[in-house]
């Protein structure tokens, strides 16, 4: 007999708000049921949801290269509806206003795992975070992380009936990743690994404090012919290789 631990929704926890964020992005309310469908490579997330909800893994069904979780329970659906997560939400979803501040990031991480992506460009010199959602969702997410991190970054672009929030640049993408994964609750490991690989590879560049403005300064100074790469490296407190990469547009390309 299945036992669904609905007490989990009566209090506050990072797992609860991660789950709600994920459902807001990638879940479906249908006929008093909650349905989540994913590619089979992400089946572990559905198993983690089952473990958290005290449900058997047999609720996760495989069909081709996809896996589905479905739970029929009116009370569970009612808890989800309390956060404005309805059956037809794609174009109208708003960031819930009844989430405590300390758990908003957990909701964002869940939403990102459901409707976001993390990838690098071809030469792996840039990391991109992208989140698809309504204008309200993406503008609220942008406002929350910008407030927490102390500076405004990322751009919101219209994409048909929805928007895309895009974060790139070495400092911005690593700052966002550090912030997003700080609480270390369950998440899509493949996305987290992509971010960690980029951060570990670019930690010196990140710690240097370079940005697009400083990179432009370096190019202008060097093009004047009055300063060497060695001196630029000393002045900006970075490795000479970093200066070379900036000058050759491998880093902070315009």
Domains 6-90 and 113-205 share a fold: yes
pLDDT, position 117: 95
5 — pLDDT class (breaks 50, 70, 90)? confident
Distance CA 140, CA 118 (A): 19
Q: Is CATH 1.10.1060.10 the right assignment for the domain spanning 6-90?
A: no
DSSP-derived letter for residue 54 is T
Pairing between strand 33-39 and 27-30? antiparallel
For the entire predicted model, the pTM comes to 0.83
- DSSP alpha helices (H): ranges in 1-64? 14-26, 43-53
Long-range contacts of range 245-250, CB-CB < 8 Å, 24 or more positions apart? 246/210, 246/215, 246/218, 246/219, 247/218, 247/219, 247/222, 250/123, 250/125
pLDDT, position 35: 94
The continuous run of DSSP H or E covering 135 comes out as: helix 135-149
Residues 14-70: tens digit of each pLDDT: 999 999 999 999 999 988 899 999 999 999 999 999 999 999 999 999 999 999 999
Is 73 in contact with 50 (CB distance < 8 Å)?
no
Share the mean pLDDT of the chain: 90
Is 149 in contact with 179 (CB distance < 8 Å)?
yes
What would the CATH number be for the domain defined by 113-205? 3.10.28.10
Q: End-to-end alpha-carbon separation of the chain, Å?
A: 61
Domain ranges of the chain: 6-90, 113-205, 209-247
């Amino acid at each position: 007999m299945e036992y669904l631990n609905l007490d989990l929704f009566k209090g506050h926890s990072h797992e609860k708000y991660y789950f709600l964020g994920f459902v807001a992005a990638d879940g479906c309310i249908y006929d008093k049921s909650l349905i989540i469908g994913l590619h089979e490579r992400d089946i572990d997330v559905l198993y983690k949801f089952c473990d958290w909800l005290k449900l058997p893994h047999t609720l996760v069904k495989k069909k081709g290269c996809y896996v589905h979780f479905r739970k029929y329970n009116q009370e569970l659906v009612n808890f989800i509806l309390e956060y404005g997560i309805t059956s037809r939400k794609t174009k109208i979803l708003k960031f819930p206003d009844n989430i405590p501040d300390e758990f908003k990031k957990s909701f964002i991480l869940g939403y990102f795992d459901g409707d976001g992506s993390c990838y690098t460009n071809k030469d792996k010199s840039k990391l991109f975070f992208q989140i698809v959602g309504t204008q309200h969702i993406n503008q609220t997410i942008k406002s929350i992380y910008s407030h927490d991190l102390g500076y405004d970054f990322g751009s919101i672009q219209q994409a048909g009936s929805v928007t895309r929030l895009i974060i790139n640049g070495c400092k911005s993408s690593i700052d966002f990743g550090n912030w997003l994964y700080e609480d270390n609750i369950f998440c899509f490991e493949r996305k987290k690994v992509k971010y960690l690989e980029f951060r570990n590879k670019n930690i010196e560049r990140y710690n240097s404090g370079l940005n697009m403005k400083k990179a432009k300064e370096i190019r202008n100074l060097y093009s004047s012919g009055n300063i060497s790469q060695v001196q630029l490296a000393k002045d900006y407190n970075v490795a000479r290789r970093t200066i070379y990469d900036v000058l050759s547009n491998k880093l902070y390309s315009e």
